[in-house]
Structure 1
Amino acid sequence: MTGGLYHNCGYNSAGMMFSAGSAIQMAEWIVTGRPKYNMFTFDVRRFTPAQLSRPHWVRECSHESYVRNYSVVFPHDERLAGRDASHDALHQDLVDDGAVMQARAGWERPGFYMPGEKIRVQQYDWGGTQDYPRNLDQRYEHILQGDYTFDFSKHHKLIGEEALSCRNAAALFNMSYYGKFYLTGPDAQRTAHLAFTADLTKKDDRVVYSLLLNDKGGVEADVTVSILDGGSGQLHEPIFKGRGYYVVSSGFSANHTLAHLRRIIQTHKLRATITDVTKQLCILSVQGPDSQRILQRYTDAGLSNDAFPVNTHRSINVSKAPFSADNKQYKCRALRVGWSGELGWELHVPSSHAIQIYQALKTAKGLRNAGWRALTSLSAEKGYHLWNADLRSDDNPIEANLGFACRKDGEYIGNEQVTKARINGVAKKYAYFTLDDKVALYGQEGIFRNGEPVGYLRRGDYAYYLDKPIGIGYVRNQGSEVTKTFLKEGNYEIEVMGKKYKATLHLRSPFDPTGQRLLGNYGEQGMDENTHEPHAGQNERAGGSE
């Protein structure tokens, strides 16, 4: 890595309009360490090495960008060029099971499922130009046309069924494109102390949500950090000396997160190593009220709140075919976390046997495949953040209601700015909005308080369980401090396509605000630990068949 070398180039055609503004931001970047505004859209780190190393990706994407220069950009538009730069071990199995793929950071991931269909993303055919014949199979393109709207997608009902299967029963998400890194070495703890805002002095079975900040206190990444003390030498539990960390980030920004961590190590001359195991590990996430009942049939590990508390991790065995002659077991790291807001576990599985575990789990009664369109909706409904949307490098954690993720006695990077915001207050504040009118929200819609504009939605989606549109944005007060009183006393409207709709502001998401569902507390629907796990650490068959 070469420090202090900056490039501000590549502007062409309509892109020249951005050149002067980008130059101003780069000047501030050089002088102060980071630009004033969120510049991820212009940052080369938004591209992965896998993308940049493929000449066909550059050629195809450049061609499509010119072709679509004046096309209307719809909220859920998907590109056809430069596809398949990266995919995980489960890719073909998911396509065979009806996955309609979307591309993020070069990775193919399931957007939603059309059971019974096999929709393959075809090679880029250059739109039939330059003597290239058009693809005979254009089903993927036809499905995409269902999203060519600023209203609800043609696939809105199908995605809703996936989301509600997670809320009411159980859903299986493939999250393998997430970035996965091991932080180890003599100075691993010092690196973690500087880089992560959360308290990582806890015991070695904890999974901690944390932020990475820049010197200005802006959020460069949000991650989960599993605290480790060595393992057996397998991919999911490597051998190392001292304390180490397993860091998981959004796949969309994984390269950005990795670069930020490496820069900290280089700047402070730390003896720490970051090992990228993104391709070597897959993630299968079982989420929903029935997730414990289903997963318990495939493992002898205890899954009760006592045996496997929320926000902990451990290595477990997963059976390929429980209670049968072909009962081969596979080891993986299980994390009791999730992005859905439900009881659930993520299984971090070596890619070499991810297919076997997926094929076993998908036969479970009541477990449905669900894609990222449903998962993103679920996370918005629960109130979880999405980096580069409602959480960016120009947002302070206090502004974003993430003060709980920042330790008060730490020396982490950006700590001074967080402390300052705690003491002095902030001029913008994160808030949720729900609408009674059934209108589609996608982000960028204006927020009005008592008739005056006070911000815009960073993120919009449909909350299928609440059965309402939900928006997330920051409210400002003309440069003055934004207090809870200021937020609560206003009358709000959201402007959608030129029309204003009455909105209700919430300081936190109205869906399960106390987090009872994460604990498996569903009332009559809840998990029964005495039925499914009479003794912590033991697995006894509860009867019935899957």
Structure 2
Amino acid sequence: MLWRLRPTDADIELNAYSREMCKKLEEETEIASWTENGGLFVGTNAERLAEYKRFAETGKYFGIESHVLSPSEVKDVHPLLRVDDIYGGVYSPGDGTIDPTSICNAYAKASRKFGGGVYENVGVSGIEVEDYLTAGSAPARRIKAVLTACGKRIETPTVVNACGAWANEIADMVGVQIPLKAMKHAMVLTEPIAGMHSGLPNVRDHDLSVYLKTQGDSMAIGGYEQNPEFWPDVDPGFSFGLFELDYDTFGQNLAGHMQRCPVIEETGIKSTVCGPESFTPDHKPLMGPHPGVRGFYHACGFNSMGMMLGGGVGRELTKWILTGSPEVDLFSFDCARFHPESVSDSRWVRDRTHESYAKTYAIVFPHDESLAGRGSRKSALYDELLSRGCVYQARHGFERPGWFVPSSGSQEALSYDFYGAYEEGAWRLGEEDHPDIPKHESHEYLDLVEGELTFDWPQSHATVAEECRAAREGVAIFDQSYFGKFYLNGPDADQAVQYLCGADMEGKRIGSVTYTPLCNSRGGVEADLTVTKLQNSKGENYYYFAAGGNTATKDLAWIRKVLEDQNVDAHIEDHSESMTLISVQGPHSRRLLQSLTDSDMSDDSLPFSGAKHLEIAGHPLLVLRLTFVGELGFELHTPADSAVAVYRAVHEAGAKLSELDGIPVRDAGYRAIDSLSAEKNLRHWHADLSNRDTPLEAGIGFTVLSKLKRTGADAPNFLGRRALEGQREAGLRRKLVCLVLEAGSVPLHGAESIWRDGQCIGYVRSTAFGHTIGKSIAYGYVDCPESEPKITNKWLEAGEWHVGDKGERHAAKLHLKAPFDPSNSRVKGLYPTREPTIEGSFEKPRTATVSMQA
């Protein structure tokens, strides 16, 4: 089945190409694989229908026809369905069905037609990998050859692991691990059903966790049970084998099928299919280059979506191999989205994969948190913050602060204890796991997370507002230790950093901090981070990179690849686990920190985007004057073993400051950062900045203009320069815009449509509720219409703007600069009074109660 309405733009674009490929292959090979019978989502509660409406809203930008239906209209589209227990549905007539046998034969025939080779029944017995040193003396590995069971050696620099449930075996041959588990996945084909025909749409009822696929005059029925069965001993010779169907496992689905389509209860079973399928910890595929092994790529772990995604994946993986980057933003599919420590932890992979399978059809709420695999990576401040009420979020396997509640540690995420609806509490995560698994009688963290599961204002709204207030009026203390922290060293470090970075690094003073994108050959942003220029005791320059935590593994792999490609004598080292980052932000942050050190913290000694070494509480550290919230702020980069002492000293000084002057000083988490940074028009990579977006399109052209303006012999070469020069000369055809809803009571969550003068020209990439301004903020890229030669500020300002959400349009105001403090006075430490206040700020949404949040 292929569903055109999906939760993300990447899914939508890959599915669209797969659909197109089915049609093209039929023309080229005369093998028909596509049936356009439509798709129908059925919602049994208001939240589910709201999710479907969100899908339909995103689809408007991509030109996907869909219709929101009442229960009676659902019955009209599919007369065999029961509809007295549903709220409605969404129908997409362009959806359809891919025949697996036909599409595989079509791909094989087309491949041979255009010079490719397909060799069946030839097993892989091994993969040769070569160890070597880069020009920077860094150890590296690369693919050399594939060995076959028939004795052939195929020399090649590139191998794609597309082996599904057997992908781990191929990874083992290369000496790496991947986060993939094989499970038994079933489908049942019914006998012919009266009234059933090939023109009826495929049906998904996510709340019953079932699907009904049209199969001529029969139905193929299946779903995702909450008690999946792993296949721990993957048999290499089982590639065309099938398991016996376990009706105890499939029974939960079968009850759902009969509820949605009652005639199934009276229909016989023609055949059953239960085979091995590959699943991952976040229900997304594994794609792209494997970090640390040059030439080894993945296209596996499709979580039963291989047919649907296959065509698009093939296209993008080809571009990835040939150019170094796909054209679609595929970070959510990139195998480097997982941290190596998580991947090597078999229990983490198993628990997270179990949870993601069981939640396959769960509503995708914007603030949901995983319960499985928690606590694997922690900051040195983990216990300290837990005792102060920190509610953690899991990102990249790391426990980062989300927000703070009045608690003293009982709000910790406990060990994973949900393993489905098994009789007598048994579970199936493997034979070695038969010992009793304790069931938590109470779980405060789970209770807190469940309060966030809504498309309305979640419960933590008021708490996050107070954290934002501290940042705007006093001091907020953030633990951002999950950031990636890398050191670039070597004789060619200056040359390397100048080529890597979009920003001009030539002539930077020692102690300067530069915000910069790292671009690919098309000018797209592969990473955005800060680079601090430092010098060792020998007078040699080196550079300190601080990168977003969620992308740290990917960023490190990208930097290493570029360094090797350029054959420079420089290498980068990962110090992420050995360092802690404490961010002290707010109007009184300098006053607080100055009380803890003899080192001068004034503008003259430590200007914005400056860095220096100093001591706090007797512990040496590197301080960077930076902010990601739009206030006077400082980042304390300290060794992990000093972190608790430094943090306590900061907190004690803050308590004294608060007692003396009555200003708010408190811990704050990433929910607050999201709100504060959105008000300041700051970028989040993968949200509103990605490998397909250039700095010019993203509104951060200032980072690359210095280099682009240098021409002739003085023009520094850097990755992406040619593409950016061409785009700057031609003008922009798409651009990131900031829209603030005029009404403060409308929550946004991303993927909404963007309208200018009644025309849909974009979709929302990131959102936040601005607690300071009291309104929802949306960022998204908009396209230039054919009637305009390029996007200009004049054209943007002349339009009337709306944001579309679940079928409704909300008036919005365009902001070419930050909605809050557009002059950046506060970043420079320029405040109107010694104790700054913000009049009329931190308003509650009109529909919210005191316990709710945005």
TM-score by length of 1: 0.91
Partner SS state of residue 750, structure 2: coil
* Residues 83-94 of structure 1: pairs in structure 2 closer than 5 A: 83-94=374-385
CA contact (8 A) 1:185 1:241 kept: no
Instruction: Find the residue that maps to 1:423 and give its secondary structure.
Output: helix
Q: Matched residues in 1 for 2:466 and 2:499: separation?
A: 43
| Corresponding position of 1:507 | 816
Counterpart of 2:590 in structure 1 is: 292
Worse-matched range after superposition: 278-287 or 121-130: 121-130
Counterpart-to-counterpart distance in 2, 1:283 and 1:443 = 29
What secondary structure sits across from 2:403 in the alignment? strand
* Structure 2 counterpart SS, 1:60: helix
Tell me the equivalent position of 1:236.
none
Counterpart of 2:686 (choices 358, 379, 388) is 388
Q: What is the alpha-carbon distance in structure 2 between the residues aligned to residue 468 and residue 482 of structure 1? A: 26
Mapped to 2, the partners of 1:95 and 1:450 lie a distance apart of 49
Which of 326, 349, 355 is the aligned partner of 1:64?
Answer: 355
CA offsets 1:305-354 (integer angstroms, 9 cap, x no match): 112111000001112xxxxxxxxx11110000011110011000111111
- Pairing 1:206–2:512 present: yes
Equivalent position SS for 2:809: strand
Distance 1:525 1:420 in 2: 48
Aligned to 1:411: 717
Task: Find the aligned partners of 1:50 and 1:85 in 2 and give their Cα distance.
Answer: 8
Q: Cα distance, 1:436 vs. partner?
A: 2.1
Query: Which AA in structure 2 matches 1:153?
Result: P
> Deviation digits for residues 159-213 of structure 1, max 9, x if unmatched?
1110111001110000011000000001111110110111222110100101101
- Give the aligned partner of residue 423 of structure 1: 729
Q: Shift of residue 372 of structure 1?
A: 0.6
SS class of match (2:327): coil
Distance 1:500 1:35 in 2: 33
Q: Distance in 2 between matches of 1:284 and 1:31?
A: 40
1:134 aligned to which of 439, 442, 450: 439
Aligned equivalents of 2:606, 2:484: Cα separation in 1? 24
- Matching residue's letter, 1:346: E
Aligned letter for 1:491? Answer: E
- Whole-angstrom distance in 2 between the partners of 1:495 and 1:12: 31
Question: Percent of aligned positions with the same letter in both sequences?
Answer: 37
- Superposition deviation, residue 368 in structure 1: 0.5
- Structure 2 CA distance for partners of 1:207 and 1:344, relative to 1, 3 Å: same
Aligned counterpart in structure 2 of residue 188 of structure 1, from 493, 496, 506:
493
Matched, 1:481 2:790: yes
- Is the contact made by 1:377 and 1:463 (CA closer than 8 Å) also made in structure 2? yes
Equivalence for 2:621: 332
| 2-structure distance, mates of 1:43, 1:241 | 39
Q: Distance in 1 between matches of 2:748 and 2:598?
A: 44
Secondary structure at 1:7 match in 2 = strand
**AA at the equivalent of 1:289:** P
Aligned to 1:269: 567
3-state SS in 2 of match to 1:167: helix
- 1:318 correspondence with 2:609: no
* Preserved contact between residue 183 and residue 244 of structure 1 (Cα < 8 Å): yes
Decide whether the 8 Å contact of 1:341 with 1:379 is kept in 2.
yes
1:121 to 395, 407, 413: 413
* Bigger Rg, structure 1 or 2: 2
Contact 1:218 1:394 in 2 (8 A): yes
Q: For residues 8-36 of structure 1, give each alpha carbon's deviation from its aligned partner in whole angstroms, at most 9, with x where no partner exists.
A: 12223245422221111112222333212
1:378 partnered with 2:660? no
CA contact (8 A) 1:433 1:470 kept: yes
How many matched pairs?
Answer: 510
Q: CA deviation at 1:5?
A: 3.0
The equivalent of 2:700 in structure 1 is 402
Q: Which residue of 2 aligns with 1:348?
A: 637
1:232-274 per-residue CA deviation (whole Å, 9 max, x = no partner) reads xxxxxxxx66211000000000111100100011112221121
**CA distance 1:422–1:13, shift in 2 (3 Å):** same
Residue identity matched to 2:609: N
| 1:245 is aligned to 2:543 | yes
Which residue is 1:177 aligned to?
A: 482
Contact conserved, 2:368 with 2:449, CA < 8 A, in 1? yes
Please, which of 287, 293, 296 is the counterpart of residue 5 of structure 1? Answer: 296
- Confirm or deny that 1:168 pairs with 2:473: yes
Q: Give the direction of change, closer, same or farther, for the CA distance of 1:416–1:493 in structure 2 (3 Å limit).
A: same
The aligned amino acid for 1:440 is P
Q: Equivalent residue for 2:599?
A: 301
- Counterpart Cα distance in 2 of 1:463 and 1:8: 39
> Do 1:127 and 1:134's aligned partners in 2 also have CA atoms closer than 8 Å?
no
What is the CA-CA distance between 1:64 and the residue it aligns to? 0.6
- Quick check: 3-12 or 43-52, which moved more? 3-12
User: Could you tell me how far apart the structure 2 residues matched to 1:12 and 1:472 are?
Assistant: 30
TM-score by length of 2: 0.59
State whether residues 623 and 634 of structure 2, in contact with CA within 8 Å, keep that contact through their aligned partners in structure 1: yes
- Contact 2:298–2:335 (Cα < 8 Å) also in 1: no
Contact 1:122 1:137 in 2 (8 A): no
Alignment partner, residue 231 of structure 2: none
- TM superposition shift of 1:487: 0.6
* CA distance in structure 1 between the aligned counterparts of 2:608 and 2:601, rounded to whole angstroms: 10
In 2, the alpha carbon distance for the partners of 1:133 and 1:187 equals 55
Could you tell which deviates more after superposition, 221-230 or 124-133?
Answer: 124-133
Matched-pair contact (CA < 8 Å) for 1:431–1:508: no
| Mapped pair 1:144 → 2:449 | yes
Which 10-residue stretch deviates more, 117-126 or 447-456?
117-126
Which residue in 1 is equivalent to 2:807? Answer: 498
Which residue of structure 2 lines up, in the alignment, with residue 539 of structure 1?
none
**Partners of 2:473 and 2:835 within 8 A in 1:** no
Amino acid at match of 1:494: V
The superposition leaves residues 370-422 of structure 1 with CA deviations (integer Å, 9 ceiling, x where unpaired) of: 01100111111111100000000000111011111012233110011111111
Distance 2:556 2:349 in 1: 22
**Counterpart residue number, 1:322:** none
Give me the whole-angstrom Cα distance separating, in 2, the residues matched to 1:466 and 1:169. 17
Query: CA contact under 8 A between 1:520 and 1:526: conserved in structure 2?
Result: no
2:754 corresponds in structure 1 to 447
Match of 1:172, SS state, is: strand
Q: Which residue of 2 aligns with 1:534?
A: none
3-state SS, counterpart of residue 40 of structure 1: coil
The aligned counterpart of 1:533 is: none
8 A Cα contact 1:60 1:126, kept in partner: no
1:204 partner amino acid:
I
Structure 1 position 127, deviation (Å) = 3.8
- How many angstroms apart in 1 are the aligned matches of 2:323 and 2:577? 35
| 1:357 matched residue in structure 2 | 646
> Using CA pairs below 8 Å that are at least 6 residues apart, which structure has the higher relative contact order?
1
Out of 332, 343, 350, the position equivalent to 1:41 is 332
Give the whole-Å Cα distance in 2 for the aligned partners of 1:120 and 1:192. 41
Q: Following the alignment from structure 1 to structure 2, what is the Cα–Cα distance between the partners of residues 385 and 166?
A: 19
- In the alignment, which of 92, 95, 111 is matched to residue 386 of structure 2? 95
Amino acid at match of 1:150: F
- 1:222 alignment partner in structure 2: 528
Question: Aligned partners of 1:28, 1:109: CA distance in 2, in Å?
Answer: 34
CA distance in 1, matches of 2:471, 2:323: 45
Given candidates 763, 770, 775, the residue that maps to 1:463 is: 770
